[in-house]
Amino acid sequence: MTDVDPDDYSDVWVFVEVHGDEVASVSWELLSEGRRLADEKGEDLVALVIGEDVTEIAEEAVAYGADRALVADDPVFEPYRADPYGEQFRHLVEEYKPDVALIGGTHTGRDFAGRVAVPTHAGLTADCTELDVDDDGLLLARRPTFGGDAMATIKCETHRPQMATVRPGVFDADEPDYDREGEIEETEVVVEEADTLSRVLERSVGDVADITDADVVVAGGAGVEGDFGPIEDLADALDAEVAASRAAVDEGWIEAARQVGQTGKTVRPDLYVAAGISGAVQHLEGMNDSETVVAINSDPNAPIFEHADYGIVGDLFEVCPALAEMIREETRPEVTA
């Protein structure tokens, strides 16, 4: 355990996750939330941008609210590997001493956050869904616990930086202001390819889409009884992503990457269709910011109806195919002789 003086640490950092020329949307979400936290603490918001040819992305980070952007630009950072990213981030943390460091709870963020937290003896809270600061300026990191049945608020009083990985989709990204001015600083790259242990031999992308980016989501729960056919059919008609409640995932009916809820993912689609989902609090936490919610359930007293804009009391095995057919009829082009 290493003693630190918290007064030596200042500013709120946000890691901007870059793959090629694509930025993970959670980065912009965290910059918007980080802006609020930095203002409450009376400190600067700093974007940390690591990658190759990322100066324009650093400029975009300023537009999303950063006062400064620290840039580590080198071919060693593309494609992503945990060891060079972790080593570079750790070096910058030790040099600049940020008070708070926020990282997206993506595969990348979860992969290397511990490589920073452990050697720097930082306090790291994983999979956060809410952030705030107390009267003393300490980060209050809130996350699901006990399998999603409760929420825990965690703060770190004696170690720095206060680190958190944050679930994508729980915060809104503000509109960028490209007239904002901020400082962009090129930092020393302390990693060399010759010293990097890992090599990327091949990259492949799985067939599971990121449901957090979907505009339309059709989710099934325990009521599907192992048959996601009607859910998939309705999703196909709506050009939507298929999702599920924890109950369906726990039964092994669908992959965990599609779970919505406190222990799954948070979605904010324009349309969320919940079929055969009772409406437990754990699930509602993951979808309650949806623009429009349609619930389909055979139980007229199901709690989900209290949180739905439209409700259909009926058997999903009858309702979903009927809705899918109606939608296809409406969108089917007319053929004239």
Q: What is the pLDDT of residues 264-288, one digit of tens each?
A: 888 999 999 999 999 998 899 899 8
Enumerate the β-bridge partners of residue 244. Answer: 220, 259
Residue with tokens 């990985």: 165
Q: Give the per-residue pLDDT at 16.
A: 96
Residue 3 has pLDDT above 50, yes or no: yes
* Domain layout of the chain by residue ranges: 6-195, 216-331
Q: What is the pLDDT of residues 179-225, one digit of tens each?
A: 999 999 999 999 988 888 888 777 765 555 678 889 999 999 999 99
Q: Do domains 6-195 and 216-331 have the same CATH topology?
A: yes
0.85 surpassed by pTM: no
Residue 36 has pLDDT above 70, yes or no: yes
Buried b (16+ CB within 10 A) or exposed e, 254-283: beeebbbbbbbbbbbbebbbbbbbbbbebb
Place 241 in a pLDDT band, splitting at 50, 70 and 90: very high
Distance CA 223, CA 168 (A): 27
Enumerate the β-bridge partners of residue 220. Answer: 244, 275
Contact between residue 266 and residue 212 where contact means Cβ atoms under 8 Å apart: yes
Q: Which CATH class is domain 6-195?
A: alpha beta
- Look up the CATH superfamily of 216-331: TPP-binding domain (3.40.50.1220)
Q: Give the per-residue pLDDT at 1.
A: 46
More confident residue, 150 or 22: 22
Place 147 in a pLDDT band, splitting at 50, 70 and 90: low
CB atoms within 10 A of CB 220: 33
Q: Give the per-residue pLDDT at 41.
A: 94
